[in-house]
Amino acid sequence: MVQPFSDRLKYVTHPKAQELIKVILRKSTNLCLSADVTSSQQLLDLVEKVGPHICLLKTHIDIVSDFTPDLIEKLKKLSKEYDFLIFEDRKFADLGSTVQKQFSEGVYRISSWSDFINAHVVVGPGIIKGLKSVAQDQGLILIAQMSAAGNLCNETYTQEAVKMAENDRTFVCGFICTKSVSDDQSFLNFVPGVNISSTGDGLGQQWVSPSEAIEKGADVIIVGRGIYQSSEPAETAKEYKEQAFKAYLDLTKE
Ligand code: 5IU
């Protein structure tokens, strides 16, 4: 049974997840923009347009060809102006001792600015321990399932991911999944693979509609090309936002 976001606040314990729910309630949007563009200016222009409609901005900071730390300053400013949080989709997938450095050092210093990060669980719990040891106040999202055709996350893998999350509730705050993977209302489900006008990209991505994603258990829908390849990204984001939020309200109505 899906609970309204206001009730979820009673179960969700991670401070960042609580913060995200408060943004969702303030702005009436559970849309996350996956801003997979490759220049700083494209990214800033996109966020400037779409910012009012999202609760969360998902970045792939390593695809920005002209990255400088100034970009982070500007994104942080926009996140305050438009009231959204930032999720760096780094998909950590290495030993605890390696991810410590990938998370906190290097060019991007992800631990100094992200609100959420994610990790593959194929490594085992050491990855959670490693990331946690250098985290500031981030919430960790575990990749329990993937939207790509032929991916190897079977039911056993998914349930192992859930167990790992249950073992570290102070750091893990939710899952990347294609449908609800746990009845535990304290974890948030972030669902990628959402597109209104297409069902696939020819490279393995599988898309469902916003309402289908919500009906399968998404708390937050993640949308990339459906929005940033649109000729009117703001209008299109508004459409995704309204479809997803209406589906969520319908599902949680008494
Ligand atoms: N993404 C997925 N599926 C997954 C995982 C991540 O689509 O299983 I894990 C990412 C990839 C891309 C975004 O950055 O979410 C989806 O973008 P499109 O809406 O353009 O497919």
How many A from CA of 240 to the centre of ligand 1? 16
Confidence at residue 177, expressed as pLDDT on a 0 to 100 scale? 98
Confidence at residue 74, expressed as pLDDT on a 0 to 100 scale? 98
Coil, helix or strand for 119? strand
Residue of 32, 33, 34 to test ligand 1 pocket, by largest number of atoms within 8 Å of CB? 34
Q: Are 93 and 122 in contact (CB under 8 A)?
A: yes
Ligand 1 atom index nearest CA of 205: 21
Confidence at residue 52, expressed as pLDDT on a 0 to 100 scale? 98
Reported confidence tier of residue 204, pLDDT bands at 50, 70, 90:
very high
The residue type found at 135 is A
For the cut 90, the answer to whether the pLDDT of residue 114 exceeds it is yes
The residue type found at 22 is K
**Is there an atom of ligand 1 within 6 Å of 205 CB?**
yes
Quote the mean pLDDT of the chain. 97
* 91 carries an active-site annotation: yes
Distance CA 9, CA 245 (A): 17
> DSSP per residue over 89-108, as a string?
EEEE-S-HHHHHHHHHSTTT
Confidence at residue 253, expressed as pLDDT on a 0 to 100 scale? 83
Residue identifier of the C-alpha nearest atom 3 of ligand 1: 147
**Percent above pLDDT 90 for the chain:** 98
Q: Which of 22, 74, 91, 216 is catalytic?
A: 91
Residue identifier of the C-alpha nearest atom 17 of ligand 1: 224
Domain map (residue ranges) of the chain: 5-253
For the cut 80, the answer to whether the pLDDT of residue 113 exceeds it is yes
Residue of 36, 62, 141, 221 to test ligand 1 pocket, by largest number of atoms within 8 Å of CB? 36
223-252 mean pLDDT: 97
How many A from CA of 37 to the centre of ligand 1? 13
- Let me know the angle formed at the C-alpha of 19 by 146 and 43, rounded to the nearest 5 degrees: 60
Confidence at residue 254, expressed as pLDDT on a 0 to 100 scale? 61
For the cut 90, the answer to whether the pLDDT of residue 157 exceeds it is yes
Contacts for 204 with CB less than 8 Å, ≥ 6 apart: 148, 149, 150
How many A from CA of 235 to the centre of ligand 1? 21
Q: Are 52 and 83 in contact (CB under 8 A)?
A: no
Residue identifier of the C-alpha nearest atom 19 of ligand 1: 224
pTM of the model: 0.98
Ligand 1 atom index nearest CA of 146: 8
Q: Are 59 and 37 in contact (CB under 8 A)?
A: no
For the cut 70, the answer to whether the pLDDT of residue 155 exceeds it is yes
Does the domain at 5-253 match CATH 3.20.20.70? Answer given as: yes
How many A from CA of 11 to the centre of ligand 1? 27
**Is there an atom of ligand 1 within 6 Å of 161 CB?**
no
Residue of 141, 152, 179, 205 to test ligand 1 pocket, by largest number of atoms within 8 Å of CB? 205
- List, for residues 41-77, the tens digit of each pLDDT value: 999 999 999 999 999 999 999 999 999 999 999 999 9
CA distances to 47, 49, 138, 222, 227 from 82, rounded to whole Å, are: 9, 10, 20, 18, 17
